[in-house]
Amino acid sequence: MAWHEIDCESFEPVDGSSTLSFNPYPWLGCPKHPCWPRGFPLNLIRETSTHLVKIKKTKVLGNQVAVFQSLADHEPDVDAIHRMVMQTPWVFQKPIAKQSRPLVLPKGQFSPYNAQATLHNRNAFFALYLPISVNGRVSDIWRSYFAQALFRLCNLKIGFMRRPLVVQDRNPHSYEADFEAELPLYRQTDRLITFLDEWSSSPQDKLAQHPMEY
């Protein structure tokens, strides 16, 4: 099967400053600042290097993008702290036509994606499993980080659609209960990303040599 190239955008750090985590929301039209997706490390929400990047046009083969994450308008996927402090609902600012290309993360960058309005390519079906040892507010986010470490070993990428594909209405929630459920995200995600980056950068590891066999 022949795969077509996709016109998309990627990025590189400005002035050589970079972190492992990329916050896509400022680039995808979030109307408020600071803004961040559920699962983004809280210690980095005001770190400009997580979103102050130089965007560049590029092309990738369709089968190189393992996952496309769409945005959700009205009630976007943000954590309980964001909802209590910044409040919702809000909608993403729509890009003009010539700026509507998907945004694809370069190698070495991590960004959380959720289980809502997310398209998995067939070569990423192995990343559909959700961990059951953590709360549902944590499960899909940590899955996304583990998946990205595996994608790196398979030379796969993740991308974000520039336009929201869904409008989400949220059932009544207790923000305090959501906060309690999300505590592992607040406390451990940054360390998890550091661990996964080091693990997926170690080619001598047997699992890294043959990730699809496990």
Q: Is residue 210 part of a domain?
A: no
pLDDT over 50 at 141, yes or no:
yes
Measure the CA–CA gap between 88 and 65, rounded to whole angstroms: 31
Report yes or no on 211 lying in a domain: no
209 pLDDT exceeds 70?
no
What average pLDDT does this structure show over 67-95?
89
Q: How far apart are CA 118 and CA 120, in angstroms?
A: 7
Residue percentage of the chain with pLDDT more than 70: 89
Total domain count, the chain: 1
Band of the pLDDT at 15, cuts 50, 70, 90?
low
**Does residue 21 sit within a domain?**
yes
In a domain, 181, yes or no: yes
Which stretch of DSSP H or E encloses residue 208? helix 206-209
Q: Is residue 209 part of a domain?
A: no
For the ranges 17-26, 91-100, 115-124, 192-201, the lowest mean pLDDT is seen at: 91-100
Query: 93-135, pLDDT tens digit by residue?
Result: 877 665 678 899 998 899 999 998 899 999 999 999 999 999 9
Residue 208 lies in a domain: no
Per-residue confidence at 21, pLDDT binned at 50, 70, 90? very high
Q: Which domain holds residue 96?
A: 5-201
Most confident of 65-74, 82-91, 137-146: 137-146
Model-level pTM greater than 0.85? yes
Please say if the pLDDT value at position 208 is more than 70: no
160-192: pLDDT as tens digits = 998 888 888 888 889 999 999 999 999 999 999
Q: Is the dihedral of CA 95, 42, 192, 140 positive or negative?
A: negative
Task: Classify residue 25 by its DSSP letter.
Answer: G
112 belongs to a structural domain: yes
Provide the residue count of the chain. Answer: 214
The mean pLDDT value for 130-150 works out to 95
| Residue 214 falls inside a structural domain | no
